[in-house]
Amino acid sequence: MAVPLSNLSPNLLVSKLCLGTMTFGEQNSLSESFNLLDKAFDSGINFFDSAEMYPVPQRAETHGRSEEYFGRWLRERKVPRDRVVFATKVSGPSGQMTWIRGGPTSLDRRNIQEAIDNSDFLHSNFVFIPQLLLYFCALINSCSLLRARSDYIDLYQVHWPDRYVPMFGETDYDPVRQYNPVSFEEQLDALGRAVDAGKIRFIGVSNETPYGVLKFLQAAEKNPAYPRIISVQSKKRLAECCHLERVGLLAYSPLAMGLLSGKYMLPDGGANDARLNLFRGRYSEGESRYNLSDPTIREATKAYLSIAERYDIHPVSLAIAFVLSHPLVTSAVFGASKLWQLEEVVSACEVKLNPEIIAEIDEVHSRFPNPCS
């Protein structure tokens, strides 16, 4: 069965499954990444998500490889560019990833421009020759367009806000931690210039809050020169905002980084090359959010796995089918490091959950709301 399609925008048709590439270049070699992309594309997936900081765990030696591997696949497999939807993200402020524009300290106009193609920097420092531009951009390895070997990015997303918000495992808002951020208008102006130049087609946000989504939308409404965000990639409660403001909801980590597959609940704790085992002690963001030593997370996982067993449904199918059944989810962004994992997710498109199963899932969620938020 082919993966169904959905409109992220009237002019942007995407598959209901989106393959995330955050394992490409770390867990997956170039040839393994190609095989995953081949299988996904042949299965009807046309939507692929990356980020300039990928793969994870993030480190200076590998950053940008996920975009690079996708770009090489496009060229070497001779995939028509208009047959795929390529999404990637610009990194926000970070005190850790100093190899990405020194942090960056902010997500201002300069950082956005440099992340996309760095052309303004190069134009101001070198005599402009197209080949020279490509050469220097490749040398400094700071250009998403060059790494992806594409003339344009279909969906360019702000990876996380340029202001303090609780995210990546945090839940409570602390007003003391707020600082003076780059304005929504400055970010939209930079993104709008890239749209006008044909470097990106549409813009979106990730790990954003309802407040942030509305501020972006209000700024675009006031100034017709600014592009309007068409999507938000988030695990937070944004359904109402997305529905009423006509913003596509991209649900990421539908398997809770593999917890809902049940592999980490096995007697041996899962295979040694499973992500949370392979990178134990090296991937703080993932380990803090998806930690089975947390009683709430463990009990929630056991409850969902119990539903799958009771109805004789593969736990991966249960999780993916549930996410895809939500009327506001445009696409589910998932990761796979092995072909059989990809096949399990794709096969979930054939699974339809009856009202009784949905009701049991909702009951577990009412007891354990967003345990991995």
**CA angle in degrees (0–180, nearest 5) for 168-56-171:** 5
Residue 18, beta-bridge partner list: 47, 333
Exposure string for 249-287, b = 16+ CB within 10 A, e = fewer: bbbbbbbbbbbbbbbbbeeeebeeebbbebbeeebeebb
Q: Supply 60's token pair.
A: 């200076």
Q: Is the peptide bond before 57 cis (omega within 30 degrees of 0)?
A: yes
Residue 156, beta-bridge partner list: 88, 203
Q: Which residues are catalytic?
A: 54
The stretches of 141-290 forming alpha helices (DSSP H) are 144-147, 184-196, 210-222, 239-245, 275-278, 284-289
Closest CA to 251 of 330, 364, 192, 366: 330
Q: Supply 265's token pair.
A: 């609940």
Cα separations in angstroms, 148 against 65, 68, 86, 235, 371: 9, 5, 9, 26, 35
From the CB of residue 62, how many other CB atoms can be counted at a distance below 10 Å?
A: 18
* Secondary structure of residue 304 in the 3-state scheme: helix
- With contact defined as beta carbons under 8 Å apart, do 16 and 324 qualify? yes
Cα dihedral angle (364, 366, 371, 373), rounded to 10 degrees?
Answer: 130
Transcribe 332-367 into DSSP letters. EEE--SSHHHHHHHHHGGG----HHHHHHHHHHHHH
Q: What is the chain's Cα-based Rg? A: 20
